[in-house]
Amino acid sequence: MILAVMIGVLLIGGVLCWLSAQWSAAAPKWIALVASLLGLGLSVYCWVHFSGPELRGPWFIDFRASWIPSFGIGFHLAMDGLSLVLLLLTFFLGVLAVLCSWKEIRERTGFFFFCLLWTLAGISGVFVAMDLFLFYFFWEVMLVPMYFLIALWGDTRRRYAAYKFFIFTQAGGLLMLLSILALYFIHGQRTGSYTFDYFSLLNTAVDPSASKWIVAGFLIAFAIKLPVVPLHNWLPDAHSEAPTAGSLILAGLLLKTGAYGIIRIVLPLFPGDSAAIAHWAIPLGVAGIVYGALLAFAQTDLKRLIAYTSVSHMGFVLLGIFSFREIAMQGTVMQILTHGIGTGALFVMAGMLKERLHTRDLGLMGGLWTALPSMGGVFMLFTMASLGLPMLGNFIAEFLILLGTFLVSPVLTVLASGGLVLSALYSLRMMQKVFLGPVRGGTAVQDLSGREWLLLATLSVSIVALGLFPQPVINLVRPVVRLLVSN
């Protein structure tokens, strides 16, 4: 029940925002903040409640209601350790997204917060849906408001970026729909009961020729979202043209839905095919790491640079998922969390810089540490996180992933470790071009305001805490990971 409430709060909050915009200019902001804080509160309550001693099974909550029984579609939500961690991340970044659009959005604020909250609702729905039709439904709910966020409040090339984003993800989504329907019909023919329910479909015996195509459908959809390298082209444009909150949610959450989809759907439903996929998924992950890093180094647009670092970091996720080791899978979950926080923070700061300097061009920035020492310090912290400095969360993630993958494929891991050197290259370049070097650009810029300081402080504290005390997260996810790996 609590899961439905969490999603419902966001949906209703969004509608209220849109409606209240007619009466008051400030109302939408506050309603959005309250709604997302409520959701955060509920998810923290879940965390506290369920992070006690080991429970019977990996699933903490299971909620079922009937929706369209004649087609076998039920409203089935369930939460385990992985979903809990991701829900926490969703609401945490959601609150921060609302906070960072506080002053940035000036026109149609009601509609903006409506789109923002509905995107968050879609994302949280994706993370808890246990009925494949419901999963697809939330997948689409996540997509359309995001398109509006980019198209209406974005930067100069927003139309192009929004269209590209929409067409790419929609194409993947349609392929996924085909796969879902195929699975539905095959299961129905075998067992006589036509259902979309995840748990019922878990043990469907699909013959190999058909399963290959079904897996391909799912995999392409998730690979576009993750993104895996040949299909990543929507990401730089979408991330750089979106408004700050949009970039934060894109980088922090939307990419994780791809990883979640692979972990939740592809691996358990098709274990045999997954083993076959791993053969080329791991090299593809390494290629993503290196390719993303090389491209990140060459960029002159700050947000595009950060977007390509996302491509590079998500390569690590792909690597970790397909090595099928507990260590690597734990690393993947950590990478998902810390990348969301770290890259999210970098986008937030890029947005702050854009507000002050009205440009994203690195050539026009320089020596900003003098005028913005606090932001410089935080930027340095997150640059170091991006490069995987120990004491911060990303190190644990990358270390575990590389260690786990090393036990499977040493040569490819060595190549992936080269990615560590490359990440140092682009991170240092980013730091230098913006904050160090001779002073260029604005000197009359203001350092962090109270709201911005609060925003960045929570992000900094969380990434340092994850770096020094990752054990709670590891414990939370352990049952899920063990189950996944044993298949």
Partner 1 sequence: MLGYIPALPFLGFLVLSLGGRVLPRSAAAVIGVGTVVVAALLTMVVGIRWLQVPPVPGEYNLLLWNWFTTGDLSVAFRLRVDALTLVFVFIITFVGALIHIYSTAYMKHDRDHARFFACMNLFVGAMLLLVMADNLVLLYLGWEGVGLCSYLLIGFWYEMPANCSAANKAFLVTRIGDTAMLIGLFLLYRQLGTFDIQTILQRSPHQFLRGANDITLIAFLLLAGGMGKSAQIPLQTWLPDAMAGPSPVSALIHAATMVTAGVYLIARMHVLFLLSPQAMAATALIGGITLFVAGCSAMVQTDIKRVLAYSTISQIGYMFLALGLGAWGAAIFHFFTHAFFKALLFLAAGAVIESLHHEQDIFRMGGLRRRLPLVFYTFLAGAAALAALPFVSAGFYSKDPILWYAYSARGGSVFLYLLSLAGAGLTAFYSTRLVVVVFGGEQRTPVTEKPGKVMTIALVILAVLAVTAGFIEWPRGLFSRFLEGVLPAPVLKDGLPSEGLFQLIAVAVTLLGIYSGYVLYRRRQEVLLRWRQSARIRAVRLFFLNGWGFDALYRTLFVRPFLFISGINKPDWLDWLNKGVVRASLTLSSLLSVSQNGSLRWYIAGVLIGVLFIITLQFFL
Binding residues for partner 1 (CB under 8 A): 164, 229-230, 232-233, 236, 294-295, 297-299, 325-327, 330, 367, 369-370, 373, 377, 380, 384, 389-391, 395-396, 399-400, 402-403, 406-407, 410, 413-414, 417-418, 420-421, 424-425, 428-429, 432, 435-439, 468-471, 474, 478
Question: How many Å apart are CA 123 and CA 48, to the nearest integer?
Answer: 22
Nearer to partner 1, 134 or 431 (CB): 431
Distance of closest approach, residue 265 Cβ to partner 1, in angstroms:
24
Nearer to partner 1, 210 or 407 (CB): 407
Nearer to partner 1, 325 or 339 (CB): 325
Nearer to partner 1, 347 or 426 (CB): 426
Q: Which residue has the tokens 């080269």?
A: 418
Nearer to partner 1, 16 or 333 (CB): 333
Distance of closest approach, residue 224 Cβ to partner 1, in angstroms:
12
Question: How many Å apart are CA 71 and CA 166, to the nearest integer?
Answer: 28
Q: Please report the DSSP string for 414-478 in residue order.
A: HHHHHHHHHHHHHHHHHHHHHHSSS--S-SS-----HHHHHHHHHHHHHHHHHHH--HHHHHHHH
Distance of closest approach, residue 432 Cβ to partner 1, in angstroms:
5
Distance of closest approach, residue 16 Cβ to partner 1, in angstroms:
38
Nearer to partner 1, 132 or 293 (CB): 293
Distance of closest approach, residue 307 Cβ to partner 1, in angstroms:
11
Nearer to partner 1, 304 or 339 (CB): 304
Nearer to partner 1, 119 or 394 (CB): 394
Output DSSP code: residue 78: E
What are the φ/ψ torsions at residue 377 (nearest 5 degrees)? -60, -45
Distance of closest approach, residue 468 Cβ to partner 1, in angstroms:
7
Q: Can you list the alpha helix ranges (DSSP code H) found in 358-409?
A: 373-386, 393-406
Output DSSP code: residue 301: B
CA atoms within 13 A on the CB side of 13: 30
Distance of closest approach, residue 45 Cβ to partner 1, in angstroms:
25
Nearer to partner 1, 195 or 383 (CB): 383
CA nearest to 253, candidates 379, 145, 377, 172: 145
Cβ-proximal residues to 144 (8 Å cutoff; 6+ apart), any chain: none
Tokens (6 digits) for 407: 């036990």
Residue 195, SS3 per DSSP: coil
Distance of closest approach, residue 417 Cβ to partner 1, in angstroms:
5
Is there a cis peptide before residue 438, judged by omega within 30 degrees of 0?
no
Question: How many Å apart are CA 377 and CA 375, to the nearest integer?
Answer: 5
CA nearest to 457, candidates 378, 384, 372: 378
Q: Which residue has the tokens 């991701």?
A: 86
β-strand 73-80 against 59-68: which pairing, if any? antiparallel
3-state helix, strand, coil in the chain (%, to 5): 75, 5, 20
Distance of closest approach, residue 212 Cβ to partner 1, in angstroms:
23
Distance of closest approach, residue 175 Cβ to partner 1, in angstroms:
15
Tokens (6 digits) for 481: 């990971």
Q: What angle do CA 423, 100, 157 make, to 5 degrees?
A: 70
Exposed (0-12), middle (13-18) or buried (19+): which is 106, by Cβ within 10 Å? exposed
Nearer to partner 1, 45 or 469 (CB): 469
Nearer to partner 1, 39 or 419 (CB): 419
Tokens (6 digits) for 86: 């991701």
Q: What is the dihedral of CA 92, 95, 100, 102, to 10 degrees?
A: 180
Distance of closest approach, residue 484 Cβ to partner 1, in angstroms:
13
Nearer to partner 1, 11 or 327 (CB): 327
Distance of closest approach, residue 132 Cβ to partner 1, in angstroms:
29
Residue 171, SS3 per DSSP: helix
